[in-house]
Amino acid sequence: MGWLEAVVLGIVQGLTEFLPVSSSGHLAIGSALFGINGDENLTFAIVVHTATVLSTIVVLWNEVSILFKGFFSFKWNEPTQMVAKILVSMIPVAIVGLFFKEQVEKLFGSGLLIVGCMLLVTAALLAFSYYAKPRPKAEISFKDAFIIGLAQACAVLPGLSRSGSTIATGLLLGDNKEQVAKFSFLMVIIPILGESFLSLMKGEFSPETSGISTVALIAGFLAAFISGTLACKWMINIVKKGKLIYFAYYCVVAGLFTIIYSLVK
The predicted pLDDT at position 170 comes to 93
Do 126 and 245 touch, CB atoms closer than 8 A?
yes
Q: Which residues of the chain have pLDDT under 70?
A: 1, 34-42, 101-110, 195-211, 265
| Burial (CB count within 10 angstroms: exposed 0-12, middle 13-18, buried 19+), residue 135 | exposed
Report the alpha-carbon distance of residue 216 to residue 156 in Å, rounded. 25
Give the C-alpha distances (Å, rounded to integers) separating 192 from 1, 123, 186.
23, 24, 11
pTM of this prediction? 0.79
Q: Using one digit for the tens of pLDDT, what is the confidence trace for 126-158? A: 999 888 888 888 889 999 999 999 999 888 888
Burial 192-217 (b: 16+ CB within 10 A, else e): beebbeebeeeebbeeeebebeeebb
Distance CA 170, CA 242 (A): 13
pLDDT at residue 168 in the model: 92
Report how far residue 87's alpha carbon sits from residue 139's, in angstroms, rounded to the nearest whole number: 16
**Among candidate residues 236, 138, 116, the one with its CA nearest the CA of residue 186:** 236
Cβ neighbors of 234 (< 8 A, separation 6 or more) are 18, 19
Which pLDDT belongs to residue 40? Answer: 52
